[in-house]
Copies of this chain bind each other. A is one copy, B any other.
Amino acid sequence: MTTPAEQAILDAHYMARALELARKGHYTTHPNPRVGCVIVQGGQIVGEGWHERAGEPHAEVHALRAAGEFARGATAYVTLEPCSHHGRTPPCADALVNAGVARVVAAMQDPNPEVAGRGLQRLAQAGIATESGVLEGEARKLNQGFLKRMEHGLPFVRVKLAMSLDGRTAMESGESQWITGPAARSAVQRLRAQASVVLTGADTVLADNARLTVRADELGLDTEQTALAMSRPPLRVLVDGRLRVPLDAPFFKAGPALVATCVAVEEQYANGPECLIVPGYDGQVDLRQLLVELAARGVNEVLVEAGPRLAGAFAQLGLVDEFQIFIAGKFLGSSARPLLDWPLAQMKDAPELKIIEIRAVGDDWRVIAIPLPAASV
């Protein structure tokens, strides 16, 4: 007989495994959340599962199938509350009830308004013991984008920047290739692959011939993860208020893309990529409105890879959830281009950030920084 304290240790142990499984869906579950499930019977894991992609079975269904008859009387560990609604697949809460599990432990409630506690409720009504909040912090971190969209109607916005040690992104002339080394570029490839959307601006596409694609050989992942990543490329979004980028730009030739613009419909590309008309002013797309539109399309995570102007605009509007800044061991000098176009007059206006991690990436370093609330609009 285990004590409650011992049970809590075991619960955390099995949930950690469920989280590990959930992470296998890192590159593919959009617009769904990443979810893992472990079924435990008599101290043995009898079934494991993770959600791979929208429209396909949820983690619980995979795990129940693997467990078969051993699911009866077992405990199911799920990184997100089992769903209670009919989406593209039937409710997982029903599947757990039908399989006869005795107890369900969730890392967190599902903030999806179609679930929001009703999954656990349904289980409880069927006489199943339920619990929520085991390793919740890690579970939330796994689905920052999905949670942001469910809770705020906006995607999680990650801004990637590459700078020299003196905070510069390019020479005055615009010359900017290869500031950082191969390991940093590989890390950026993985950031792209995990995003729902990779977003850039006309300046970057025009000046650097940027394509912002995911390249299998640069991901630095094993064969299985590479195949998963390549099976669901992120949507590439170009912010181009005035439609300055010509249709023969490498960006458009590299695959499907969405153009966010303020230009009225009749002036749009004739046989070109899909355009999303967003309100704007002075030819500048209203970025908050664009994010709202993207969230409405199921976009969980946006990776912004843009120049100082567009990245600066996101920052100034308080729309950034996380900066990932790759720092190269170089000085580009005082005439080089700034990290963000964001003039500030007084120290009291300087936005504060919490640097949560600095780590070596090859010869470069990666800083992860989170804007503090005062910096938001």
A contact set with B: CB distance below 8 Å: 163-168, 171-173, 175-178, 308, 312, 315, 323, 325, 327, 329-336, 338-347, 349-355, 358, 360, 363-365, 367, 369, 372
B171/A163 in contact, CB under 8 A? no
Contacting residues, chain B, for A171 (C-beta < 8 A): 344-347, 350
30 residue pairs A–B, Cβ–Cβ below 8 Å: A163-B166, A165-B323, A165-B339, A165-B355, A167-B167, A167-B338, A171-B344, A171-B345, A171-B346, A172-B345, A175-B347, A178-B347, A308-B334, A312-B334, A327-B367, A329-B352, A329-B353, A329-B354, A330-B351, A330-B353, A331-B340, A331-B344, A331-B353, A333-B342, A334-B339, A334-B342, A335-B343, A355-B360, A355-B365, A358-B360
Residue in chain B with minimal CB distance to A351: B331
CA distance A377 to B198 in the complex (A): 42
Candidates B325, B336, B343; contact of A344 at CB < 8 Å: B336
B354/A365 in contact, CB under 8 A? no
Contacting residues, chain B, for A364 (C-beta < 8 A): 355
What 3 A-B pairs come out closest when comparing CB atoms? A167-B167, A333-B344, A334-B338
Contacting residues, chain B, for A167 (C-beta < 8 A): 163-168, 338-339
Q: Is the interface of A mostly helix, strand, loop or mixed?
A: loop
A352/B330 in contact, CB under 8 A? yes
CA distance A177 to B329 in the complex (A): 26
Given contacts A332-B347, A358-B358, 13 further A-B contacts (CB under 8 A): A163-B167, A166-B167, A166-B338, A167-B167, A167-B168, A173-B345, A173-B346, A177-B347, A178-B347, A327-B355, A329-B353, A329-B372, A333-B350
CA distance A372 to B165 in the complex (A): 14
CA distance A172 to B365 in the complex (A): 28
B329/A333 in contact, CB under 8 A? no
A350/B164 in contact, CB under 8 A? yes
Nearest Cβ on chain B to A247's Cβ, whole angstroms: 30
Contacting residues, chain B, for A351 (C-beta < 8 A): 330-331
- Name which of A312, A323, A345, A360 has the most chain B CB atoms within 10 A of its CB: A345
Candidates B163, B166, B346; contact of A175 at CB < 8 Å: B346
Nearest Cβ on chain B to A161's Cβ, whole angstroms: 9
Contacting residues, chain B, for A369 (C-beta < 8 A): 165, 329
B330/A341 in contact, CB under 8 A? no
Contacting residues, chain B, for A334 (C-beta < 8 A): 308, 312, 338-343
Residue in chain B with minimal CB distance to A330: B350
- Name which of A325, A334, A339, A365 has the most chain B CB atoms within 10 A of its CB: A334
Contacting residues, chain B, for A347 (C-beta < 8 A): 171, 175-178, 332
Contacting residues, chain B, for A172 (C-beta < 8 A): 345
Nearest Cβ on chain B to A355's Cβ, whole angstroms: 5
Contacting residues, chain B, for A365 (C-beta < 8 A): 355, 358, 367
A332/B344 in contact, CB under 8 A? yes
Contacting residues, chain B, for A330 (C-beta < 8 A): 350-353
Residue in chain B with minimal CB distance to A164: B350
CA distance A181 to B347 in the complex (A): 14
Nearest Cβ on chain B to A192's Cβ, whole angstroms: 23
Contacting residues, chain B, for A360 (C-beta < 8 A): 355, 358
Contacting residues, chain B, for A165 (C-beta < 8 A): 167, 323, 325, 339, 353, 355, 367, 369
A344/B350 in contact, CB under 8 A? no
Nearest Cβ on chain B to A77's Cβ, whole angstroms: 34
